[in-house]
Amino acid sequence: MPKAWSKPLKVGVWVMKHTLTMVRKRIAVFLLVITFCTCGLAARLFYLQVFKNEKYRSAALTQRLREIEIQPKRGLITDRNGKKLAINVSLDSVVVNPQQIKDPENTAAALAEVLGLSADKVLEKIQRETSFEYVARKIEPEQSKAVRALRLDGVYLVEESDRFYPNGSMAAHVIGFAGIDNQGLEGLELVYDKNLRGTMGRFLGETDAINREIPGGEKQYLPSENGQNLVLTIDEVLQHIAEREIDRLMEETKAKGAVVLISDPNTGEILAMANRPAFDLNNPVAVPDTYHRNLAVWYNYEPGSTFKIVTAAAALAENAVRENDGFYCRGGMQVAGHHISCVTAHGSQTFAEVVKNSCNVGFMTIGMRMPRERLYDYIHGFGFGQAPGIGLPGEEEGILLPVKDVGPVEHANISFGQGIAVTPLQMIGMVGAVANGGLLMKPQIVREIKSADGAIVQPFTPQIVRQVVPPETAYKLGQLLEDVVADGTGRGAQIPGYRLAGKTGTAQKTVDGRYVSDKHVASFVGYGPVDNPRLAILVVVDEPQGAYYGGVIAAPVFKRLMEDGLRYLSIPPTETTAEETVEPKIQVPSVMNLPLSEARKTLEGQGLSYRIEGEGSIVIDQTPPPGTMVKADTKIILIRGETKPAPGLVTVPNLTGQTMREVAQSLADMGLTLRPIGTGLAVRQDPEPRSQVPAGTMITVEFQPPETDPPSP
């Protein structure tokens, strides 16, 4: 080999060796990378297949599962006696699985014809990229039968529960209504939606890539849980009576609106609540939304003379007036340079006649005898200026001037029910407090919540808000209001054989801040029977046409409501002889916890005789109880014991057989408070009679109707 070639040849060999070395290194690196990647993928695959197996298996299954919701049955709403006010009916809904429909156009046309829908809208739903679409919700049975007869692929009928109200518009504003998706929209349907709705169930079925059900595939069934049932304080019979009378009232007066409320004054339970205008619960969208307003809790109106009950109660409780105090009405009164008129010049009157004649001058005089702050204490005490808390949508507080803004004119106006706005619910609570012995009860519309199988989940017991006036004040006021019905402005409410108490009201309405003479609110509020109140009733008429006085148009409605209500409750009329009518009666004073010598002096001072039983020097019980009205020759039985209660303690009286009003009065005289359970006569109490407890202790008393045998001890 020539020398000239040797050097280039060596260079070439070196280059080839170097190149082969580089290639080998690159191949080694590449293989190393491939090895690492393969190991990483293997590790990742092992991690996913072993450690995350359950997660991704469930996810894959979820993607293959087709879900169908199972609606629960909405809970029932019943009256206090179990009569159904809101129930459920089963209706079919049309649903489609677009993935299973082979001929969308013809399917859409066929469904549209049967259901009365637009073919284009049905086609648009059928062509969506989903596996479940509603075409029509809750169709009529005839339509359901026609759809079933079509036998279309991918078209199904799903049973759904629909809300139905058997009585149409009855108690519409109380019950409210539910929407197409089983959701509460108004009234108690809305307030207790969470309880009534229940829990949604689901059915999951395994399908393939084109949504065909896999035979033998996995299925999951989660059952629905039906809603709880709502038991109201409403009595369907009394509600029917209220609805009948309010319809008659609207027809006769052509009024803009009206409210009727019936309550049990001893418990605060609302037994009937009727409003006009009203609406059909099965078709609520057929009327304007304003018809859905519950005037009983929402409507603010000037009460007029019905508010004089508050002024009279405050004045009697504060000893600012006595029954025989004299007043003189010239037809009006000057207050701070302003002339405030009365209906007529009543002349000389006693306080009892001021109440009976509804004299504005008399009530202005009485109201202004009390400081405005003290009068406001009673106004607030009776629940005005705050929402009563019944738990219905739209509750209003009324309109009450701040006490600092009340001048002499405002003070005078408020005393006879002008310059203040109240709600019907507040007024029925106020008169209930007078009826039951001075206790303001929280208004109640729901009695209890029950589970779907009938077990009580949550009871609602009567609640005392406060003692507004002493029982003796409430009793005196009741006698004055009885005279209003017997021989005053409320004579239109009289029912032969029954002692009723009430008050009329006629108030001018304001337009642009000024009173107008052609728009009025007429009302009547009262209770009965006076000796054992069972019903309190309020009638409010907004802008009646023609006659507009409360005694003319509202009192007769009260009469018919009370008459039918007492008959329904089997309360017989009381026969009053002439001798009983004129015979004077004496109110039994409380001598509990007094030394025997002081008790004797107290009874003798009232002209009452007595009989002493037991041993000891302290009176530990008495019969009849304090506050009872008795004939002058009645003998009071005094039970004596050995020791007087320690300072700050009082002896609990025996309350068995007394009415709630009598119990409240007896306990108030002792400085104790009442927690009532039930209605009727006292059958059980806690603490036991003659127990010694601190003043202010709450005594729980169980009441039962007189016709029910008392429980065994």
Task: Give residue-wise pLDDT tens across range 210-231.
Answer: 555 555 555 566 777 889 999 9
Q: What are phi and psi of 177, to 5 degrees?
A: -150, 165
Helix (H, G, I), strand (E, B) or coil at 377: helix
**Residue 3 in this model has a pLDDT that exceeds 70:** no
As a whole number of angstroms, the distance between CA 591 and CA 603 comes to: 8
Show Cβ contacts of residue 231 under 8 Å, excluding neighbours closer than 6 positions: 78, 79, 80, 82, 446, 447, 448, 449, 450
Q: Which two tokens stand for residue 446?
A: 């729901």
pLDDT at 707: 41
pLDDT at 208: 54
Cα angle 62-66-71, degrees, rounded to a multiple of 5: 110
| Cα–Cα separations (whole angstroms), residue 474 to 435, 490, 710 | 7, 19, 28
**Residue 635 in this model has a pLDDT that exceeds 90:** no
**Residue 332 in this model has a pLDDT that exceeds 60:** yes
Contact between 498 and 490 (Cβ < 8 Å): no
pLDDT at 207: 59
DSSP string, 151-187: --TTEEEEEEEEEE-TTTTTTHHHH--B-TTS-B-SH
Give the mean pLDDT of 654-663. Answer: 72
As a whole number of angstroms, the distance between CA 500 and CA 670 comes to: 29
> Within 10 A of 47 (CB to CB), how many other CB atoms are there?
11
197: exposed, middle or buried (Cβ count in 10 Å: 0-12, 13-18, 19+): buried
pLDDT at 435: 96
Length of the chain counted residue by residue? 713
Domains of the chain: 67-226 (3.90.1310.10), 236-568 (3.40.710.10), 586-704 (3.30.10.20)
CA-based R_g, the chain, Å: 39
Q: What are phi and psi of 635, to 5 degrees?
A: -100, 125
**Residue 57 in this model has a pLDDT that exceeds 70:** no
pLDDT at 651: 76
Residue labelled with tokens 């337009």: 511
Give the mean pLDDT of 327-347. Answer: 87
Q: pLDDT (tens digit, 9 = 90+) per residue, 12-30?
A: 666 677 777 777 777 877 7
**Residue 63 in this model has a pLDDT that exceeds 60:** no
Q: pLDDT (tens digit, 9 = 90+) per residue, 84-142?
A: 999 988 777 888 888 778 787 888 888 888 888 888 888 888 778 776 778 887 777 78
Q: Is the pTM of this model over 0.85?
A: no
* Of residues 272, 246, 227, the one with CA closest to residue 72: 227
Cα angle 105-108-114, degrees, rounded to a multiple of 5: 140
Give the mean pLDDT of 155-169. Answer: 84
Contact between 325 and 305 (Cβ < 8 Å): no
Give the mean pLDDT of 467-483. Answer: 95
Q: Which two tokens stand for residue 418?
A: 């002008």
Percent pLDDT > 90 in the chain is: 45
* Of residues 77, 73, 91, 92, the one with CA closest to residue 225: 73
DSSP string, 590-633: P-TTSBHHHHHHHHHHTT-EEEEEESSSEEEEEESPTT-EEETT
Identify which of 337-341, 437-441, 656-660 has the greatest average pLDDT. Answer: 437-441
As a whole number of angstroms, the distance between CA 194 and CA 199 comes to: 9
Residue 161: band (very low, low, confident or very high) from pLDDT cuts 50, 70, 90: confident
Compute CA 576 distance to the chain's CA centroid, rounded to the nearest angstrom.
39
403: exposed, middle or buried (Cβ count in 10 Å: 0-12, 13-18, 19+): middle
> Within 10 A of 508 (CB to CB), how many other CB atoms are there?
17
Show Cβ contacts of residue 263 under 8 Å, excluding neighbours closer than 6 positions: 269, 270, 271, 428, 429, 432, 443, 535, 536, 537
Active site residues: 305
Q: pLDDT (tens digit, 9 = 90+) per residue, 69-97?
A: 677 889 999 999 999 999 988 777 888 88
Contact between 385 and 426 (Cβ < 8 Å): no
Contact between 270 and 338 (Cβ < 8 Å): no
